[in-house]
Structure 1
C-alpha cells in the first residue's frame, strides 16, 4: 500500500469520515422514466450493502425520489427501517437538487416545505444537511434559505477550486442577513470503485491544514449506482493500513456535529466567507429559453393563484390545497439543475413542457374560480338599481349569437399585491357593434379608455384598455357600457412620424425616439431633468459568436460581436390616448426580429415585446442597452435578494431584474445620479460592461453537448433555441438608485397582467371596492407570498426586506392590524391564525427556534 500524497501534514490525527452516496440525476441524458428505473435499482443495491455492512451509512437527497418510492411500498419500508436504525441519512431536504441561481426565492421556500414534509412522512425524519453537489453556482442569499429550510450545514462541489478561491474547503458561510452555517466543498460527489485509493488521495489534499476531521464521499454516481462491494472492501483495506489516516463510516450530520464541537475549541474557529459561490457553467443561464419562461411563468402564476384563493376564502371559497401542492411539485421537480439550466436532452423537455403545462392549468383555474367567487358576492348594480333580466337581448349576428348582459358589463379588476397598484387593464367583451362605449369606475366616474384590436380576425368584439387603480390586496369594480362617452381628455401622449422615417413617442415624463436606420431606440430622454440616458442604440438585437458547449465551459463572456439586426421596417401599430406602440422588423442572417416599443401616457417606463425567429446555430442573440452613465454599479436580482457585481462584461445569472446606476450629465455638463433597470419576464443571463447592459436572449449550442465530446459531422444535431422565441421587457429609467425607484416591487408585476373577470349585474353583500391585505410603511419590503398554512386554517404571509436597511410598519389582513419589523435582507414568514394570533415561522411553517 502506498503512502497517501498529503502535501499538508496535519497538526493532529486526522479522521476521514466516509459517507456512502449515489448521485442520481433524475433527468439529464435520459428522461424521468429512466430516472425512476435508476432510483429503484440504486436503492435496492444500497439497502443490500447496508445489510452487509452494519457500520455503513448511505446518504440520499431529493424528496421527489422518495415520493417515487411510495409506488413501491416494500422498498420504501426497507428505507424507513434503515433510517430508523441510523444507516440511511436523508439529506438536502428539498424536493430536488435545484439550480440555485434561476428560481424565484419563493421556490426555495416550497422546495423546503414540500421536501421536508415528504421526508418526514415517508421515512420518519427530515434532513439537517443542505446538499447541492452538482448545482452550478450558489447565490449569497443561500445561507438564509438553507437555515429557514431547517438545514444547519451545507455540502457543495461547484464551483471547484480552479473556479473560485476559498479560504479553505471547510468554512463558515455568512449571508447578507447575518445567517451563517458551516460548509464543505467536496472534491467529488462520486468515485470509481476500482480506484478508491487515488480518489481518497485527491480528496485528502483538499482537507484544511490542521483539521482533525475531513469528509469523503464514495459510490458510483450520475446514473446512480452507489457503493459497491469492491469499493467497500478497498476502503476497509486502506483503513487497516497504518500509513493512512483513520477511515470511518459515518454520516454527514455526525461529521458536522464534530466540526461544531471543534469550533468552540481553541484555534478551531472556521474562516468566514461572505458573498456568492460562483461560477461554473455560465452558459446554462441562457440555454433553452422555453424552460426558463415556463418555470418563471409557473412560479408567478402559482404565487398569484394562492393569493387570490386566500382572498376568496373570505367569502367561503374552498382553498384548493391539494391541487396547488401537486402543481408546485411539478414546478419544483423541473427546477432540477440539469432541467432548468438547459443542459438535458431534447426529449427531457417534452416531459417538462407537459408537467409545467399541468401546473399552469392548475394555477389558471385556481385563480379564476377564486375571482369568480368574489365577483359573485359583489353588488354590481349601477347605483343599486335592479335590472329586469340578466340577459336583456339575444340576436344572431353573423357567425355567432350576441348577448347583452343588461346595464353594461361589470368588470372586476384585482390586485393580489399588498400595496395599491395602477396599471392598464385590458378586457374584451361580447359584440355590441357600436363605436359608442363608456368605461366607468365604482363611483360612476368615467375612465379614459383606448380601443384595441380584437383578438379574433372576425372582429366585432370590443377590446379596450383603461387605467385601473386598484387598492392593495383587493379589487375594484369597473363597468363597460354601450353608451356615448365624454370627449377624451388629452393625457399628453403623442406620436410623431418624421419624413426620415424616425418615430418619436412622448409623454410628460419621457421622450423616446426610434431610429428609422437601426430600428433601435436612438434616444430616451428624462424630460424632467433633460437627461439623455442612452449612449448608443438601445434595444438593438446583436449577434455574437458562441462556439462553447451547452454548459458554456470555458466561456466567461459573450461579447464577440459579429453583427446587428438591421434593415429596419417601422410602423405605428397603436396610437391612442393611453398607449402608443411602434413595431420594428429587422433581420440578420436567416433570422427575423419583430419588436414592439411601447410608451404609456402615465408611465416613466419603456416596454418591449420581442418576437425572435432565431435560426443561427453556435451563435447567441442579445438585447443591448448602452447607457450614458459613469461610475456605474451593476446590481442583479438573486433568489430573495440582490448582489452587486463588477461591470466587467462577464456573463452572469440574473433574476427578474438588473440595474445599472451611476451618474449622467446633461447638456451643460451637470452630473445627476441616475440609472436604469431592465426587467424581463423570462431571460436569466446578462452582462454589464461599463454602462453597456446586455440581456442574452438565446444561445444555440447542440442539446446536452459536453466538452470534450466532439459532435459527429455526419449527424443532424438538434440545436437549442431554434425557431420562435418571445420575451417581454421593461426599461425603467430612474433618478437616484434602484431602491428609491422600488424596482423589486415593480418586478413582482412583470409578466402578470392585472387579473380580472367579467360579471353580470346582480345584488351582493360585498362593496364595489375593497382591500383585504395591505402593507403600510415597511418601505423596502414586499409581501412575496400569501397562502393557506399546510396544517390548520391559518395563513402564511411572507415579507421580504430587499433594500438592506430594515423597516417597520403595519400589516393589515381583514380586520386585524399587525405591527411588523424586518431586519435588513430578512425573509420574514408570519403565521396568522384565524383568531388573530401571529407568530414568526420558518419555511416549514413552524415557529422559529425549532420544530414544536
Structure 2
C-alpha cells in the first residue's frame, strides 16, 4: 500500500512508524516544498522516530497542471530527481487537488514522447514507480526528521473546528476503550463498535486538510460542525450505553447511593475527579464518601455549575483507578469517621497558591512566578496573554512564523479566591484585552506538581492573533513535542510548529511540560515559550489586499472559545508520562451515579422547604402533613413569589 497526501500541510516525524504498522511501504506528498524543507533527494527512505522506514517521494513541481502543454512540468520533474536513482513521476491532470487527464494532455504526451533527450516517458502508476524504488532502496538517502513548517496560519486559525475534531477523536477513542474493557456480552460489544466505526467516518472526512486547517469558506464550516457533532454525540451515547449497562449487569443492588468510576484507558489514572452527585436537590449536610473497604475518601465541596444555591453540589476528590479498571465509592450520611489530612494541602493567600514543592504567584499580567523547590522557573514577564498584529492570509503562505508587532498585553488582572483548599485552591480574574473579553483561572491540587489554567475568551478582533507567551527564567536546554504515536525533539527558533497534546522544555534538573487538547500551535524562541491560540484574518483569504468591502466577508475565530492547560514540573522528562497525562486530560474517567437497589429520596416524606410543590402547602392548609411544621419557615420554592 502507498499513502498519497499531495496537499496536506506537513507530516509528523512519527508518520513512517504509523504507516509501517498498517502495512504501507511508501508515501507520496507535495508539501512542504523545497523552499520550506530541504531534502537530500526527491525519493528517500523516511525513518520515523520509532525506527520504522518507508520510501518517501516528494512531487515536483506540482500535483496538477493547468494547460494542455506539459513541457515545463516534465522538465522540472526530471530536474528534481537524482540521476543516480534514474526514475521520477510526472503528475498531470486538470482538477482540484488532482483530477483527470484531458484528451489534449494525452495527445500532447503521445506526440512528444521522444522530445526529451535521455528521458524515457511511459504512462505508468505509482505502484510501478515504487517497484523501481524498492529495487534501489539501498542507494536512497535516509531522512529522519519531521516534514513541517507549511502554512503555519493553519495551525491555529478556526480554533473551534480543530477543537471539536480533537475532542471528538478522543471521545470516540474512549468509547472504543470502554466497549472493550467493560463489555457485558459480545453481541452488544460488536454493535457498539460498529456504531463507533460509523462515527469515525465523519471525523475521517472532516480531517481533510482544507477543512481541519480552517481554510474553508464560512458556509462549509456549518456542515463541518454538523458532521463533527454527529460523531461526538454518537461517541457520547455509546459511552453512556456501555457504562450504564455494565453497572446494571455487574453491580448488585444496594440501598445506598454509589459513585461509579470507570477507566477504559490502558494507563492507570492517578488524579482528581470532579463531579456533581445528584442527591435529589437535598442539602449536602454531613455526607461523605467511603471507598470499597469502608474507609473515608477525602473530598472538597467546590462551586457547582448550576447557579441554584444549595440544590446542587460539586465535589473534587482524589482517585487511583487501574488501567481498564473501576472504583465504586459510596455516598453515605454522616458523621464521617476521622481520616488523616493530606500531607501536602493546598494553601492560598494574597494571590499565592502553594502545595508541597510548588508555589504559584499571580500578578496583574497573569502568572508572575512559578517556583518549584524554591526555584523560580519563570522570567520577569511570567505567563501572560497578548494580541499580536496579524495581517497574513488565512494560510500564511509566505512565512514560517508570526513576527509582527505586539499591540496589546493583558494587564490589570484582579484575582479573586474561588476555592481555598485543602485539596484544591483556585483564583480567577476577569478582564478585557483589545476588544475581547477574558476570564482566566489558576488551580492547584494537593499532591500534584501541576497548575491547571483555564481560559475563556470572547474574541472580537480583526487582523490580530491571541498568543500565550511564557517567559522562562533561563533559555532551555531542550524542547520536546508530543505527536500522534510518539514525540520529537525540536530546535528552538522563530518558526511556528504544530502542537499535538503536549510540549516539554528541559533545563537544569527540571522538565516543564504543558498539556492541552485545546491549542495546536507553539514555538520556543530563546527564553520565550509561546502558544498561538486564535487568529482573525478573513476566512478563506489568499491575501489579496485590494478586496472591496462586503458583508459576506467574515473574520475567523469570532466569539466564544475555551482552553484548559496543565503546566507540570518534574525532575526529568518522561515522554510516556506526558502522553498519559494528555490522554487522561482529554478523556478523563467516566463518572456517574448508580441508584439500583436504593430507596429514594433520602429525606423520605419530609422534603426540604425549597422543594415543596404546590400540593404540599395546599395539603397543609387542609390540615394534613403537620410533620412538616418544623421546616415550614425554612426558605421557599424558587417558583414561589417572595411575597
Normalising by the smaller structure, the TM-score range is 0.7 to 0.9
Cα drift, residue 159 of structure 1: 0.9
The aligned counterpart of 1:474 is 325
User: Judging changes above 3 Å, is the alpha-carbon distance between structure 1 residues 715 and 373 closer, same or farther for their aligned structure 2 residues?
Assistant: closer
For residues 299 and 140 of structure 1, the distance between their equivalents in structure 2, rounded to whole angstroms, comes to 20
| One of 224, 229, 233 as aligned partner of 1:352 | 224
Shift of residue 364 of structure 1?
Answer: 0.8
> Deviations 1:14-41 (Å, cap 9, x if unpaired)?
xxxxxxxxxxxxxxxxxxxxxxxxxxxx
Matched, 1:333 2:333: no
Select the residue among 520, 527, 545 that pairs with 1:691. 527
CA distance in 2, matches of 1:523, 1:224: 52
Find out whether 1:641 has 2:486 as its counterpart.
yes
What TM-score do the two structures reach when normalised by structure 2? 0.87
Counting matched residue pairs gives: 590
- 1:562 counterpart (407, 413, 419): 407
Answer yes or no: is 1:248 the counterpart of 2:122.
Answer: yes
Kindly report which structure 2 residues correspond to 1:89-488, keeping only aligned pairs within 5 A, or say none.
128-187=1-60, 188-222=62-96, 225-241=99-115, 243=117, 245-263=119-137, 269-314=139-184, 318-319=188-189, 320-379=192-251, 406-407=255-256, 409-428=257-276, 429=278, 430-459=280-309, 460-486=311-337
Counterpart position of 1:611: 456
RMSD: 2.1
5 Å-filtered alignment, 1:625-640, equals 625-640=470-485
For residue 708 of structure 1, report the CA deviation from its aligned partner: 4.8
- 1:242 & 1:426 partners in 2: Cα distance? 70
Counterpart selection for 1:493 from 320, 324, 345: 345
Judged with a 3 Å threshold, the aligned counterparts in structure 2 of structure 1 residues 506 and 263 are, in CA distance, closer, same or farther, namely closer
Q: Please tell me whether the aligned partners of residues 619 and 700 of structure 1 are also in contact (alpha carbons under 8 angstroms).
A: yes
CA distance in 2, matches of 1:719, 1:180: 42
Distance in 1 separating the partners of 2:323 and 2:595: 24
Are residues 228 and 244 of structure 1, via their aligned partners in 2, closer, same or farther at CA, if it must alter by over 3 Å?
Answer: farther
Say yes or no: does 1:540 pair with 2:398: no
Match 1:748 to one of 579, 583, 589: 583
Partner SS, residue 686 of structure 1: strand
Write out aligned runs for 1:11-22 (5 A): none
Cα offset, 1:735, TM superposition: 1.1
Counterpart Cα distance in 2 of 1:440 and 1:680: 32
Tell me how far apart the structure 2 counterparts of residues 317 and 758 of structure 1 sit (CA, whole Å): 26
Q: CA deviation at 1:578?
A: 1.4
Matched with 2:498 is 653
Q: Contact 2:63–2:97 at 8 Å: present in 1 too?
A: no
Answer yes or no: is the 8 Å Cα contact 1:294–1:356 preserved in 2. Answer: yes
Q: Distance in 2 between matches of 1:280 and 1:574?
A: 44
In 2 relative to 1, CA 761–184 (structure 1 residues): closer, same or farther, beyond 3 Å?
Answer: closer
Output the CA distance in 1 between the equivalents of 2:43 and 2:323: 46
Contact 2:267 2:580 in 1 (8 A): no
1:263/1:759 Cα in 2 relative to 1: closer, same or farther (>3 Å)? closer
Label 1:160 to 1:658 Cα distance change in 2 as closer, same or farther (>3 A).
Answer: same
Preserved contact between residue 149 and residue 495 of structure 2 (Cα < 8 Å): no
Who is 1:767 aligned against? none
Rounded Cα–Cα distance in structure 2 between residues aligned with 1:316 and 1:277: 42
- 1:255 and 1:489 map into 2 onto residues whose CA distance is 70
1:602 aligns with one of 447, 460, 464: 447
> Displacement of 1:212 after TM fit?
2.9
Q: Retained in 2: the 8 A contact 1:632–1:647? A: no
Q: Which runs of 5+ in 1 are unaligned?
A: 1-127, 387-405, 664-672, 764-852
Instruction: Give the C-alpha shift of residue 576 in structure 1.
Output: 3.3
**TM-score of the superposed pair, with normalisation by structure 1:** 0.67
Q: Is residue 289–residue 721 contact of structure 1 (8 Å, CA) maintained in 2?
A: yes
Partners in 2 of 1:195 and 1:709 — Cα distance?
A: 32
